Structure 1
Amino acid sequence: MTISKSDNRSDNSPDRRPLEVESTLPPSVDKGDEARREALPLLPSPWIERPIPDKTFIRGSVAHFIAFAGGVGLSPVAPGTAATLVAFPLFWVLEYIFDPPGFLLFLVAAFGIGIWACEVTGRALRNTDHGGIVWDEVTAFLLVLFFTPKGLMWQAFAFLLFRLFDIIKPAPIRYYEKKLRGGFGVMFDDLLAAFFTLLCLAFWKAYVTG
């Protein structure tokens, strides 16, 4: 009797191929990637070239024009101080146009528009707090002038105090400057500087000048 060889091959047979197993596990996804991609334009990096704002830049967008206060932010020297000075003639014009409630409504609108304009411009410049973004100084100092007693001496004193608080940023201004981001953060820290300025003016008027 002839015994036929088994058709079964041993596991060591070269013709036997291992089964290919498809992994059903999804690829790992770093949930932080999306956030990093969104924040990339705002992060300083030697590989990302930041735009240099000029007249063409501010004319190219309403948001840029507002954020740079019509071009005042292009000042090569102390743009924040220049913007605060520009608030003086703007205040005199607005005071002539609006009654007190209308002026306050204008300031509320200016603050809201400033959040949008500073946000858009900061993203375009890849710098949320670019030195040329000065609409926050203009709006905040207009608020200061609205509540400051009449007279050039009071207004000059208000100017010096506002610039002092805006530059040295005492607590909690510096805390909120670092904590809050985007257009709201840019506008809010100057609002705090305005509050401290008005607080000092109120103290001086009540306890010094009587």
Structure 2
Amino acid sequence: MITAVYIPPDANAKTAIALLHGSSGHLQSIYPDAVHIIAGDFNHADLKTALPKFHQHVKCATRKANNLDKVYSNISQGYRARPLPHLGQSDHLSLHLISAYTPHRKTVPTITKTIKSWPKDAAEQLQDCFDRTNWDVSEHQDLEVFTDSVLCYIKNCIDTVTVDKRIRVFPNRKPWMTQEVQRLLKTRNTAFRSGDRTVYSTARVNLK
């Protein structure tokens, strides 16, 4: 069970913690065997005062020199938080909560499959192939036979202009994680580790 938290700087800390205490207690009573994670921007509030059995996993500063973003859970030493580059244009670092156990994605084997890669001029070659095709040859009184003939020919043309490529698919790979996005992320992470604020700022803008 994950609870997302934002406590504004001008909020009453005691009131906010009391609300969190009530919400968390309600969830724990319904799901007593679940892992409960409470994470977000706490600013000046400290959840440990109300939930002493919860453990805070963030040990680093998340906004300049301040540790405002915290992750609490009911699992002692179950996680550790690693700082990552800012998300978008946020002035807070993002955090990667790493579990002490082996994640499911590391136990599931990768899948190797074959995909079609389209070279730069493949579309033009395919269009030229269709322009020079005498479609009358495929005509047939039986519509199903006619359709199969045309589709087989189109597939053959596509196979001619494309290249088969074998790739590995990882269980945690998202469909929007393209090579371009990976390149921009790598550039941003390298800039983050370099400590050069100007280069890092430019990399963040490019990724956005």
Higher strand share: 2
TM-score, normalised to structure 2, is 0.21
Q: Greater RCO between the two (CA within 8 Å, min separation 6)?
A: 1
Bigger Cα Rg? 1
TM-score, normalised to structure 1, is 0.21
Higher helix share: 1
